[in-house]
A = this chain, B = another copy of it.
Amino acid sequence: MISPRTPSGVLELLPPEQVAFQRMLDAIRSGYERFGFLPIETPVFERSDVLLTKTGGETERQVYFVQSTGALEKARADGGDQTLPDLALRFDLTVPLARYVAEHEHQLTFPFRRYQMQRVYRGERPQRGRFREFYQCDVDIIGSGELSVRHDAEAPAIINAIFTDLAIGTFTIQINNRRLLRGFYEDLGITDAEVQAAVLREVDKLDKRGADYLRTTLTGEGFGLSEEVVERILAFVQTRSTGHDDALDRLAQVEAASSGSSALAEGVAELREVLALVRALGVPEDNYCLNFSIARGLDYYTGTVYETTLDEHPELGSICSGGRYDDLAGQYTRSRLPGVGISIGLSRLFWQLREAGLIDASAGESTVQVLVPQVDPELLDDQLALASQLRHGGINTEAVLDGGKLGKQLRYADRAGIRFVALLGAQEVADGTVTLKDLRRQDQFTVPRDEVVSALRVELAQPLV
C-alpha cells in the first residue's frame, strides 16, 4: 500500500475551491476576450536549448528538466554524459510566447493580441505561498517592427475590467515609465546604466528598510551621492498621484525640474498619452495613479510599467504587473518585436485571498444548479426525464440514483452548495408539475412541468442579495 500524497509546493484544491478558482480563471479569460485577445497554448515543455538561451538568471537555475524513461536510462548507462536533458518545463509564459511568435511569425497577424493561461514550473525551495507549479494568466500585444504607445493604455483598462469583475475589493493600478526613470537619474548625473540599476535596487528597499537606510547607503561609499540628490530621489520615488489632474500636475512638475534629459521628456510624453487614453477607455480615476517608485524587471521593460495593489490589502504586494518591452524575441529572430503585456499569477493570488479570508470557498455555490432527488424509486423514469429536460435547457443538474431518505438528499444539496432541488413525487407526476425548493432563499413553489426550465432560468438570473 502506497501513501497517496501530492508533491510538495503545489496548490491542489478540493472541488468547492476548484469551482471558485475556475470562476476566477473564467472571469480573467472573459476579460481578455472582451478586449479582443486570442487564445494560445504552448506545450508544458520546451527544448532545453530554446528555453535556456539567456544566461544564468535565478529563474533559470530553478528549471525542471524532463527525461523519458529511455533517455534517463541512456544518460545513466553513459555515466560521463553531462549534457543537459533535451526538454525542460516552462518557467514562465514569456519565453514560450517569444518562441511561438518567432516560430509562427509569418502565419500571425500583427499587432498580435494573445492571451495565455497555463501553469508554469519553478524548482523553488517549498515555502508558504511559494509554489513549484502555478497558473500565470498573461496578455500581450506584440507589434512587428513597431507598436504605438497607445497600446500601453490597454493594460490598465484590462486590469480595471477584470479586477472589477473579480470583486475582491478596490484596487489601484500604479503606472510608471522606465524612460522617465532613466531620464530622472540622468538629470541627477547618474548616467551609467549599471549604477542606475544599483540605485534602483536600493530604492526598491525603501518600504522594507526605510528612508534613513537609503540616505546612509546612497551617500556612503560605493554610491557617494550628495544629500541633496538623495533627498530629490526620496521625494521622487514617494510620488503617488491622487487623481487624473493631479497625475498630470506631477508630470508637469517633473518636467519643470528636469535639466533637459530627452529620456525624461519622452517618458513624460508617453505617460501623458497613456493617461489620456486610460481615461478615454473609461477607467475611473480612483483606480489608477502614477507611482514613480515602480521599476519592475530592470533588464526587460523599457517604457510604461504597471503594478496593481488591493487598497485594503497592500501587504499582498502587486497582484497584476507588467509593462512595455522593446524586443520580445531577439534570441530567436532578427525581426524587432516590441510589445506590452501584463500577467496575473492566479495560484498565488488565490492562495493569498484565501489566507486573507477574502475567499470562502466552502460557502460557495456549486457548479451544480439543481438536484433532482429520488423521491420514490418507482418514479425513476420520470425523475430521469426531468433531469434530461433540465439539462437540455442548459441547467446543470445532478440526479440522485442511489436513493436514500429524502431529508438526507436535501441536506446533501445544502452542504454541497446546490441551490435548487426539483422534487417529483407521485402528486407532482399526477398533476404534471414540479416542486422547486430554493435552499438559499428557503423558499418553495410548484410550477407546471413544461415551465420548469424557464422558471429556473429566471431564478438563476436574479442575483442573490
- A253: B residues at CB distance < 8 A: none
Check if A44 is an interface residue, CB within 8 A of chain B: yes
Chain A stretch 35-50: residues in CB contact (< 8 A) with chain B: 35-47, 49-50
In the complex, besides A36-B371, A65-B69, A280-B385, 8 extra interface pairs with C-beta distance below 8 angstroms are A6-B103, A18-B38, A66-B89, A70-B123, A143-B402, A148-B402, A157-B388, A277-B384
In the complex, what residues of B have CB within 8 A of residue A119's CB? Answer: 44
| Contact of B76 with A35 in the complex, beta carbons under 8 Å | no
A151 within 8 Å of B (CB atoms): yes
What separation, in Å, do the CA atoms of A151 and B391 have in the docked complex?
16
* Docked complex: A204-242 residues within 8 A CB-CB of B: none
A14 near B107 with CB under 8 A, answer: yes
Report B-chain residues with C-beta under 8 Å of the C-beta of A161: 391
Q: Is A50 a contact partner of B2 (Cβ separation < 8 A)?
A: yes
Partner of A332, one of B1, B50, B68, B412: B1
Residues of B contacting A4 in the complex (Cβ-Cβ under 8 angstroms): 50, 98-100, 102-103, 329, 332-333
Chain copies in complex: 2
CB of A95, distance to nearest CB on chain B (Å): 10
Q: Mark A11-34, 1 if CB is under 8 A from B, else 0.
A: 011110011001000000000011
Among A390-440, those with CB < 8 Å from B are: 391-392, 394-399, 401-403, 412, 415-416
Q: Which residues of A contact B (CB under 8 A)?
A: 1-7, 10, 12-15, 18-19, 22, 33-47, 49-50, 53, 61-72, 76, 79, 82, 85-87, 89, 98-100, 102-104, 107-109, 111, 113-114, 119, 121, 123, 133, 143, 147-148, 150-151, 154, 157, 161, 277, 280-282, 329, 331-334, 366-368, 371, 380-381, 384-385, 387-388, 391-392, 394-399, 401-403, 412, 415-416
Chain B residues with CB under 8 A of A148: 401-403
Q: Judging by beta carbons under 8 Å apart, are B394 and A34 in contact?
A: yes
CB atoms of B100 and A12 under 8 A apart: yes
- Tell me how far the C-beta of A144 lies from the nearest C-beta in chain B, rounded to whole angstroms: 11
In the complex the two chains form, is A38's CB within 8 Å of B367's CB?
yes
Partner of A380, one of B69, B147, B280: B280
